């Protein structure tokens, strides 16, 4: 049977796709991703356009209601979601990659000068609160775009990944198959890529999910402080506007609460995927 052959080869994929938490999380994640991709296409208005009367609760014409000035909240939210996803993917990827590279190198050369230096840098960056660093960097940038925002968040978020990957590498590098590669004079990059990284795939994947959520949260906080991209719209900015215009006091829950609710649900879905994957990759947890 060709079909069962395939599942045998990709056992983890099978367990992942039959795990209730992973499915639940994936469905929500995909729905919100779809909202971010297709939402701006179906939106009837522009995000800065005065679409109708202000202070309108959700209705057939304005799905998430309107702001005090009459801008369409749905349009603003879906455009904001789009930039949230971009920041998450770009920033998360950078943070994971930098963390991996530093972690692999420090772990592989453990005890040597390279390791000591890299870990010293990591420990320093680990103590400095990321958001404080981001605030001071962003405050002095006169023009900020989504990409530059993602890059600076990614470049400040890698620290714990580096530490965790280093300790994982330490435990792997004295295994026999790594020693074998070393004796046969395989280049370091090859040993790291084929012997060490390949055995940490599941772990790296979960690290990526956590970095993705961390990046999103950092970005939203920055935007809420007014240090997001100087042009365009973001979820944090929508919420900042809502707070500034007293949306809460005026009872406009659709403006003040919906944008953050979507974001929170998105992050919850990622948590579910992560917990599910944990069960998939660690069979011991599966029975729980």
Partner 1 sequence: MKKYLGKKIFIYLITFFFAVTIDWAIPRFMPGDPVQMLLSRFQGMEGGREIIQAQITASFGLDRPLLEQYFNFWATLFKGDLGTSIYAFPKPVMSVINEAIIFDILLLVPSIILSWIVGNKLGAFSGVNKKADKYLMPVFYFLTSSPYFWFAVVVVFFLGVQLPWFPISNAYSATMRPAFNIDFILDFLHHWFLPFITLFLVQLGGWAIGMRNMIIYEMGSNYSKYMESLGAPEKLIRKYAFRNGVLPQVTGLAISLGNIIAGALTTQIVFSYPGLGFILLKAIQNQDYFLVQGCFLFIIVFVLLANFLVDIVYMLVDPRVRFSYSGEV
* Residues of the shown chain interacting with partner 1 in the complex, contacts defined by CB under 8 A: 120, 123-124, 126-133, 135-137, 139-143, 160, 213, 217, 220-221, 224-227, 239, 242-243, 248-249, 251, 253, 256-257, 259-261, 263-264, 267-268, 271-272, 284, 288
With 0-12 CB in 10 A as exposed, 13-18 as middle and 19+ as buried, what is 256? Answer: buried
Nearer of residues 146 and 152 to partner 1, judged by Cβ: 152
237: Cβ contacts below 8 Å, ≥ 6 apart: 80, 223, 224, 226, 228
Q: What pairs with residue 47 in β-bridges?
A: none
Q: Rounded to whole angstroms, how far apart are CA atoms 155 and 157? A: 6
Taking the complex as a whole, the smallest distance from the CB of residue 117 to partner 1 amounts, in Å, to: 12
Taking the complex as a whole, the smallest distance from the CB of residue 142 to partner 1 amounts, in Å, to: 4
Taking the complex as a whole, the smallest distance from the CB of residue 141 to partner 1 amounts, in Å, to: 7
Q: Indicate the SS3 state at residue 84.
A: helix
Q: Rounded to whole angstroms, how far apart are CA atoms 90 and 148? A: 10
Q: What pairs with residue 66 in β-bridges?
A: 72
Element (H, E) at 121: helix 113-127
Nearer of residues 13 and 120 to partner 1, judged by Cβ: 120
Nearer of residues 110 and 275 to partner 1, judged by Cβ: 275
For residues 98 and 66, is the Cβ–Cβ distance under 8 A?
no
For residues 17 and 23, is the Cβ–Cβ distance under 8 A?
yes
Taking the complex as a whole, the smallest distance from the CB of residue 124 to partner 1 amounts, in Å, to: 5
Nearer of residues 86 and 133 to partner 1, judged by Cβ: 133
Nearer of residues 53 and 251 to partner 1, judged by Cβ: 251
Structure tokens at 180: 């074998």
Nearer of residues 69 and 261 to partner 1, judged by Cβ: 261
Taking the complex as a whole, the smallest distance from the CB of residue 231 to partner 1 amounts, in Å, to: 16
Taking the complex as a whole, the smallest distance from the CB of residue 2 to partner 1 amounts, in Å, to: 38
């Amino acid at each position: 049977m060709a079909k069962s052959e395939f599942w045998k080869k990709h056992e983890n994929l099978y367990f992942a796709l039959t795990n209730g938490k992973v499915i639940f999380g994936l469905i929500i994640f995909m729905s919100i991703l779809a909202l971010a991709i297709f939402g701006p296409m179906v939106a009837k208005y522009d995000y800065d356009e005065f679409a109708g009367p202000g202070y309108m609760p959700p209705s057939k014409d304005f799905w998430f209601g309107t702001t005090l000035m009459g801008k369409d909240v749905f349009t603003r939210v879906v455009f904001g979601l789009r930039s949230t996803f971009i920041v998450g993917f770009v920033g998360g990827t950078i943070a994971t990659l930098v963390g991996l590279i530093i972690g692999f190198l420090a772990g592989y050369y453990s005890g040597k000068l390279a390791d000591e230096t890299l870990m010293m840098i990591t420990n320093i960056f680990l103590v400095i609160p990321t958001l404080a660093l981001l605030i001071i960097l962003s405050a002095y940038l006169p023009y900020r775009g989504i990409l530059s925002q993602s890059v600076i968040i990614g470049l400040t978020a890698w620290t714990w990944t580096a530490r965790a990957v280093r300790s994982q590498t330490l435990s792997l590098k004295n295994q026999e198959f790594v020693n074998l590669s070393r004796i046969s004079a395989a280049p370091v990059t090859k040993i790291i890529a084929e012997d060490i990284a390949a055995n940490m795939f599941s772990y790296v994947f979960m690290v990526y999910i956590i970095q993705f959520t961390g990046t999103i949260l950092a970005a939203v906080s920055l935007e809420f402080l007014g240090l997001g991209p100087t042009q365009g719209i973001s979820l944090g900015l929508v919420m900042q506007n809502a707070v500034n215009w007293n949306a809460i006091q005026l009872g406009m829950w659709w403006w003040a609460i919906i944008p953050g609710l979507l974001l929170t649900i998105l992050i919850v879905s990622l948590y579910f995927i992560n917990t599910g994957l944990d069960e998939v990759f660690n069979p011991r947890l599966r029975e729980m």
